[in-house]
Structure 1
Amino acid sequence: MKSIVTRKYLIPFVLVASLFFCWGFAHSILDVLNKHFQNMLEISKTRSALVQAMVYGGYFIMAIPAGVIIRKWGYKAGVITGLILYGIGALLFVPGERMMSFEFFLLCLFIIGCGLTCLETAANPYVTVLGEPETAASRLNLAQSLNGLGWIVGPLVGGLIIFGDSGSVAFPYAVIGIVVLVIAVLFSRMQLPEIVEESFSEKAGVDKLSKSVPYLFGLVALFAYVAAQTGVNSFFINYVTEASSTITNQQAALMLSFGGMGFFLVGRLIGTWLMNYLSAPRLLLICAVGAMICMIGVICGGTVGLISLIVTYLFESIMFPTIFALALQGLSTSATKRGSSYLIMTVVGGAIAPMLMGYIGENNMAIGFIIPLVCYLVVATYAKKIKKTYE
C-alpha cells in the first residue's frame, strides 16, 4: 500500500490542508444565513437563494484571475490573496449588521466568494501534486476531511448564535475574519515548496485540456455535483421545519451540523480508506447511485424523507475531491494549474441550483429536490464512463 503523503511533503500538506477547514466553515454557515434572512428580512425562498448565488457567482468571476495569480506567482500567492479577501469580506459583516441591508450582505458574501475561489484554486491542485499521482484522489479526500469538519462547525455556530438569543450575524463573521487574516500573515512568513513545472506554452496547455475526456466530462460532473450539494444544503432547514412543525430553526441547524455534516465528515474518512480497495471511479459511482436513492426518499417526504436527507451527506461526501482529482489526473503540472481554474469555475452551479429549487419549492420544498436528483444522475454517468479507463 503506497503512502498517501510522502515525508518530503508532509509539512506542506498539513499546512495547506488546514485551509480546507476555513472554506468549509464559510460555505456551511450560508445555510443558516439563508433561513435567517427569510425570517428577519421577510424575503422569499427564491430571493434568499441569492446568498448562495453571490458566493458561487464570485467563484465564476474570480476563477480565471485566481489561475493567473497562481501561474505567475505560485500557489502560496494564491492562498494569501484568498485569505485576505476572505477576511475583508467577513469583517464587513460588522457594519453590515448595523445597516441591515440585504444588498450589502450580498456584497460581503461576493467578496468572501472571491477569496474562497483563490483558496480552492490553489489548495485543491496543490494537494494533488504533493505525492504520487495514483494516490492523488485519496490525498485530496484526506485533506477534504478537514473541510468536512468546517462544514460541521458552520451550522453549529450559526444555529447557536444567529438563531440564538443574540441573533447576531456579525459576531461569527468578525471572529473568522480575524482568524483568516492572522493565518494570511503566518503563510506569508512560511516557506512552502513550489512545484517545478516543465517548459510550457499557453496553447499547448489548452490543447492538453481539450483532448482529455476525463477532464472535459469532469467539468460537467463537478458543475452538477456542486449544484446538488449547494441546493441540498441551502434548503435543509426549510425542508426539516416544513416536514415537522415541532422542530425549530435552531434545532434544524443543529441537525444539519451534527447529522448531515457529521455524516459528511465520516463519509470522507471512510471514503479515503475505501480507496485503498476500490478504484476512485467505482466508489464515486456507488455514492452517486446512493445519493439518487436518497433524493427519491426526500421527495416522497415524511420520516423516510428526513432520514434520506441526512444520509445523503454520507454519499455525497467524497464526490467533489474525487471528481476534481480524476479530472486532473494525467495532466502536466502547467495544465493542472490552468485546468484547476476552469474546474473551480464550475462551482457556479451552486449559484443556479438553489434559485431553481427555491422557485420550484416555494410552496412545497420537497418538490424542489428534483434538481439535486438530476444532478446526481449526471455524476453517476461520469463515474460509469471513466470507470473503464481506470480498471
Structure 2
Amino acid sequence: MAFAPTPQPRTSAAAPAVNTRVALAVVTTIFFMWGFLTCLNDILIPHLKAVFELNYARAMLVQFTFFGAYFLMSLPAGRLVAHLGYKKGIVAGLVIAGIGALGFWPAAELRIYEAFLGALFVLATGITVLQVAANPYVALLGPEQTSSSRLTLAQALNSLGTTLAPYFGGVLILSSTVKSAEQIAVMPQAEQIAYRVQEAQAVQGPYLGLGIALFLLAVFVFLFRLPALTETTEQADHSKHTLREALSHRHVMFGVLGIFFYVGAEVAIGSLMVNYFSLPEIAAITEEKASKYLMAYWFLAMVGRFAGSAMMVKLSPRKLLATFAAGNIVLLAITMSNTGMVAVYSLIGVGLFNSIMFPTIFALSIERLGPLTNKASSLLIMAIVGGAVIPLLQGMLADRIGLHHSFILPLLCYGYIIFYGLSGSRPDASAAKGA
C-alpha cells in the first residue's frame, strides 16, 4: 500500500544538481524496501498462525502491532527527523528497521509469539521514520514542478516491493509449511516439538538477510554525498491552528474515517487471503501457492494506480472513487456467495479497485484547507491505524462465523467509501472560502 507524501518543504538553492539523479535512485530503493517489508506481513501471518496454532484474531495481532506502531511512533519520528535532518533520519530509520529484522532470529529461537511481535514493532518503527524522512526528501530532489512525477516514481517502486514480497515470502517461508494440522496432531510429541521449532526457524534466514540489507543500505546512504537540502519545520503559521480545528471541517472528519476504513479493508483482505485460498471449499491449495495469488492482488493494485491516475484527468475523482468502491462491494459479494476459483478471482480483483482509493481520499480530504492542510494531513496519516484495527476485528469475526463470510466487514468499509465519494468529501462553506 502507498502512503501519502509529506507536504513539501522548499529546496535549497545550493543543492548540487549533479548528484540528483543518482540520489533519487538511491532513495527510491528505500521505497521498495518498506513496501516489501510491509507486504511480507501477509506471508508472516499464515506462517505464524500455523507455527503457534493461533486463531484468526491472535494471528491478526501481526498487523495490529505493525500499524499500531505507525500510529504511536509517527509523531516521535517526526521530531527525530526534524532533529537529525533528512539524510541522517533516513539512516536512522534503516538502522532501526534493521534491528527489528534481526530481532526475528532470537524470537524464532525462543519460539515465543510475543517476541515476534516485539521485533515487528521495532521494524515498523524504523519504517515509520523512513516514511517521515524519505517522502519530503524525494519531493526536494529537483525542480518543484516535477516533484509529483518523482513521488509517483518512488511510490511505483513501493508498489513493486508489495508485488514481489508475496513471491519471495512464499518461496522462502511458506514452502516449509508442508504438514496440515491433522498430520501434526498424529505425530509423536517429540516430533511435533521438533517440527514446530523447524517451522519457527524458517523466518530466520529471510529476515536476517533483510536486516543485513537494511544495514548495508544505511551505510551506503550515510557515505553517499546526497544533495544538501533545506530542512522543514513547523513555523508559527502552523502552530496557530489545531488538529481539532482541522477536524471541524466535515470533509476532513469524514476523510479521516475514509482512510481508516480503506486501509483497514485493504490490509485485512491481504492478510487473510493466503489462509482463505487454502480452505478446502475455496481453492484447497498450499499456502505457498496461495502466496502467488496474493502477488496478483498487489500487482493489480499497482496497475490500477497508473490506470486510475489517467482516468481522473477526464473523470470526477469523487464519482470514480464511489464507482471503484461499488466495484469492490460487488466482488466481495461474489466471493462470499461462491466457492472454488470464482471466489479466488473475485477477491483478487479487489486489488485493482483499491488502487486509487488512498491518494484520492487523501487529496479530497485536504481540499481548500489553506493553512490547515498540514494539520489535516497529520490526522489522515494517523488514520492509517485502521490497518491495525479492521484486520483484528475481521479475525475475531472469522473465529465466530468462519473466514468465508467474515469478508462482510471490508464490504461494509467500502460501503462507507461510496458515501464519502458521493457526499462526505464535499467541503463545507468555510473550507470553500479557504478557511
Give the TM-score normalised by structure 2: 0.77
Q: Do the aligned partners of residues 248 and 199 (structure 1) sit closer, same or farther apart at CA in structure 2, a change above 3 Å counting?
A: closer
Give the corresponding residue for 1:91.
Answer: 102
Give the corresponding residue for 2:298.
Answer: 261
For residues 309-360 of structure 1, give each alpha carbon's deviation from its aligned partner in whole angstroms, at most 9, with x where no partner exists: 0000011122223333444455668953x55443332222111112211121
Q: Do the aligned partners of residues 44 and 101 (structure 1) sit closer, same or farther apart at CA in structure 2, a change above 3 Å counting?
A: same
Separation in 2, partners of 1:57, 1:210: 21
For residues 268-320 of structure 1, give each alpha carbon's deviation from its aligned partner in whole angstroms, at most 9, with x where no partner exists: 22223333333544433332222222222222132432211000001112222
Larger radius of gyration between Structure 1 and Structure 2: 2
1:118 to 129, 134, 156: 129
> Is the Cα contact below 8 Å between 1:281 and 1:386 reproduced in 2?
no
1:174 to 201, 205, 208: 208
Give the corresponding residue for 1:231.
Answer: 268
1:23 to 21, 25, 34: 34
Q: Do the aligned partners of residues 375 and 13 (structure 1) sit closer, same or farther apart at CA in structure 2, a change above 3 Å counting?
A: farther
Separation in 1, partners of 2:269, 2:261: 12
* Post-superposition offset of 1:144: 2.3
Tell me which moved more, 119-128 or 109-118: 119-128
Q: Do the aligned partners of residues 175 and 357 (structure 1) sit closer, same or farther apart at CA in structure 2, a change above 3 Å counting?
A: same
SS across alignment from 1:361: helix
Give the corresponding residue for 1:204.
Answer: 240
Q: Do the aligned partners of residues 127 and 278 (structure 1) sit closer, same or farther apart at CA in structure 2, a change above 3 Å counting?
A: farther
Separation in 2, partners of 1:368, 1:80: 41
Give the corresponding residue for 1:103.
Answer: 114
Separation in 2, partners of 1:329, 1:194: 26
Tell me which moved more, 134-143 or 169-178: 134-143
Tell me which moved more, 67-76 or 98-107: 67-76
Give the corresponding residue for 2:11.
Answer: none
- The alignment status of 1:312 with 2:350, answered yes or no, reads yes
Q: Do the aligned partners of residues 272 and 128 (structure 1) sit closer, same or farther apart at CA in structure 2, a change above 3 Å counting?
A: farther
Give the corresponding residue for 2:158.
Answer: 147
Give the corresponding residue for 2:278.
Answer: 241
User: Where do 5+ consecutive residues of structure 1 fail to align?
Assistant: 1-7
| Letter in structure 1 aligned against 2:53 | E
| Letter in structure 2 aligned against 1:116 | I
Give the corresponding residue for 2:408.
Answer: 370
Tell me which moved more, 201-210 or 28-37: 201-210
Report percent identity of matched pairs. Answer: 35
- The alignment status of 1:66 with 2:77, answered yes or no, reads yes
Separation in 2, partners of 1:112, 1:67: 17
> Is the Cα contact below 8 Å between 1:87 and 1:176 reproduced in 2?
yes
- The alignment status of 1:48 with 2:42, answered yes or no, reads no
SS across alignment from 1:235: helix
What value does the CA root-mean-square deviation take over the aligned residues? 3.4
* Post-superposition offset of 1:32: 1.3
* Post-superposition offset of 1:75: 4.0
> Is the Cα contact below 8 Å between 1:83 and 1:119 reproduced in 2?
yes
For residues 227-267 of structure 1, give each alpha carbon's deviation from its aligned partner in whole angstroms, at most 9, with x where no partner exists: 1011101110121111335311111011111x212212211
Separation in 1, partners of 2:241, 2:206: 42
Give the corresponding residue for 2:392.
Answer: 355
Q: Do the aligned partners of residues 214 and 130 (structure 1) sit closer, same or farther apart at CA in structure 2, a change above 3 Å counting?
A: farther
| Letter in structure 2 aligned against 1:252 | A
SS across alignment from 1:366: coil
| Letter in structure 2 aligned against 1:111 | V
1:191 to 222, 227, 230: 227
Separation in 1, partners of 2:318, 2:208: 40
How many residues of Structure 1 are paired with residues of Structure 2 in the alignment? 384
Tell me which moved more, 372-381 or 205-214: 205-214
Q: Do the aligned partners of residues 341 and 88 (structure 1) sit closer, same or farther apart at CA in structure 2, a change above 3 Å counting?
A: farther
> Is the Cα contact below 8 Å between 1:59 and 1:344 reproduced in 2?
no
* Post-superposition offset of 1:159: 0.6
Q: Do the aligned partners of residues 98 and 333 (structure 1) sit closer, same or farther apart at CA in structure 2, a change above 3 Å counting?
A: farther
Give the corresponding residue for 1:5.
Answer: none
Separation in 1, partners of 2:336, 2:85: 45
User: Where do 5+ consecutive residues of structure 2 fail to align?
Assistant: 1-16, 177-197
> Is the Cα contact below 8 Å between 1:128 and 1:325 reproduced in 2?
no
Tell me which moved more, 123-132 or 272-281: 123-132
SS across alignment from 2:407: helix
- The alignment status of 1:301 with 2:320, answered yes or no, reads no
